[in-house]
Amino acid sequence: MKIRRFSAAAAAVAAGALVLTACSSPAQQSEIEETTSVNVGWNEPFRSTNNLTANGNATTNANIVYLTTSFFNYYDGDLNLAKNEDFGTYEVVSEDPLTVKYTVNEGVTWSDGTAVDAADMILFWGAQNDKFDTVAASDVETDDEGNAIVGDGQVYFDSSSPAMTAISEFPEIGDDGRSVTYVYDTPRSDWEVSMNQPSPVAAHVVGKLALGIDDPAEAKKAVEDAFENNDAAALAKIADTWTNAFNFTSLPDDPDLYLSYGPYVISDYVENQYLTLTRNEDYNWGPEPKVDSITVRYTEDPLASVTALQNGEVDLIAPQSSVDVLATLDGIDGVSYSSAPEGTYEHVDLTFDNGGPFDPATYGGDAEKARKVREAFLKTIPRQEIIEKLIQPLQEDATTRDSFLIVPGAPSYDEVVANNGSDAWADVDIEGAKALLAEAGVTTPVDVRFLYGKSNVRRANEFQLISASASQAGFNVIDNGDDNWGTILGTGTYDASLFGWQSTNTFILNAEANYVTGGQNNYGGYSNPEVDALWAEVATNTDSDKETELATQIEQKLNQDAFGVNIFQFPGVVAHRDVLEGVSTIALSPTIFWNYWDWEISADDSIEAPTATETE
């Protein structure tokens, strides 16, 4: 699975991530006696029902996918992996080679009545397996909406999951088309979370849109056959549809683009304002919700979220924490909130392959020259100043985060940090940065285009501090702030980026796609064969001591290569109106949405959704 980019937070990539609160089991059910709705504030607009693509891989999309699909397993309030056997089952058939069978229960259907089955699981596997691609990710361009652009007849699925790529053999289909059995070429220590649902988008819809086949059964078979036979002509069309067709920023005319097999179905979406989900009346294969509809309302401004909560326009928020946010929440009657460090972190990544200041190609292929420029820039980032001015007012004991892979407080964190070379970024070193630029023979000023969430106040403050510091060493940090930063990641139109990661599971392999060559989350084009080889070892390792050793070696190379730098763990806050009960959160995606089945309205209160005009 993948770490999701998240503009307000990013989560732990090691076991033992912080749990803010615990809550009840999903087995508890409740009858709806009257129509109820809940409004949730979120910071970034939804943009894709396919959260497996590079463009779709964002927490804001994962939240909606979580509410509109079903999973073989999920993380509970204590970060234990819980099975949902009302939906389906999975079992290890063989340990050598690792062979796992997944079966969807009878009666599970998409919201158009079509069965969820093996075809969807074949699509999940094939679309994330780079064996079918005929063009490399480095040769693919994207448009302004984040859609991948390839030549006619070329096959490119804009996703590559290392776990799915580890399965080269076409899966066996059984149980009247409801099961598939995967045989892994090499074991994967994270197999149980790598294939945790059939697919976020329907195979029969992909077959219909890509191949012009209206009959669902025929469309599914065509998709299966295309992968089984490696039919490049059919796969080119399937890949284009899977990658691009499910991206949208307002409600599409075609309901096939937002089918559901989960507790809710998307029913309305107004661009940059709100998205509404209503109960899926046919759903009975998992935790049953107690509220009839959920409306997610979008604003990048944390204080605007608090104001919306105060005005009753939203009922639940998880805004980026700040002194003003906490002070305002503290004075609102009828609102409860909790704050604690999150299992999330802020970071700056550099771009290696865009012809910019950190790309060897800019210097005639001189990799060492480019590395010195990267190192010089990272030496100017005022991590401690950012902590002291922006984070310690919220959390007095806040310190820098110094590991790429291990969350502070985890048993191996101190050992990894002591040996990973992160001390190179402990203090701002302007003179050292100048010396490196001089050694590299680079003329200053060096332009660095810097991407971040423009309307995010804390991010804007971070940018100002970084820009002021870097300028002292000869860098001209250009403001490329943009509220659509999520769709811009990976386009090569910037040289440095500031955002956060949020994890989807507790395995260290969760971070592999950030750093491995061609990884889905490797937006800067970083590549080091030695790092790739270390990740291959991590994939099959089950020894915790060995994992610490491997993590240290990976981080040593990331720091030596001046990949980027981490800054801080996020101080978190979750707030809700008291009339909304059952609110909880976990440190992993989907955070505050994880236990939607526990949400309910107090008996004496009701929460009505504001009309669109009230929030425009």
For the chain, domains (ranges, CATH) are 70-251 (3.90.76.10), 264-334+578-601 (3.40.190.10), 343-570 (3.10.105.10)
H or E, element range at 419? helix 413-419
* DSSP annotation string for 146-188: S-EE--TT----S---HHHHT--SPPEEETTTTEEEEE-SS--
**For residue 410, what pLDDT is reported?**
77
Q: Above pLDDT 90, what percent of the chain?
A: 73
- C-alpha closest to that of 540 among 172, 127, 96, 160: 96
CA distance 511 to 514: 6
Q: How many helices (H) and strands (E) does the chain have?
A: 19, 21
pTM of the model: 0.78
Report in angstroms the alpha-carbon separations of 579 from 198, 297, 536, 599: 36, 18, 49, 10
| 256 and 208 Cβ atoms separated by less than 8 Å | yes
**For residue 187, what pLDDT is reported?**
86
Return the structure tokens found at 607. Answer: 């929460």
**For residue 509, what pLDDT is reported?**
86
394 vs 308, more confident: 308
Q: Report residue 613's pLDDT band, with 50, 70 and 90 as the boundaries.
A: very low
- With 90 as the cut, is the pLDDT of residue 347 above it? yes
Mean pLDDT of 546-574: 95
**For residue 603, what pLDDT is reported?**
64
pLDDT in tens, 159-168: 878 789 999 9
pLDDT in tens, 220-235: 999 999 999 999 999 9
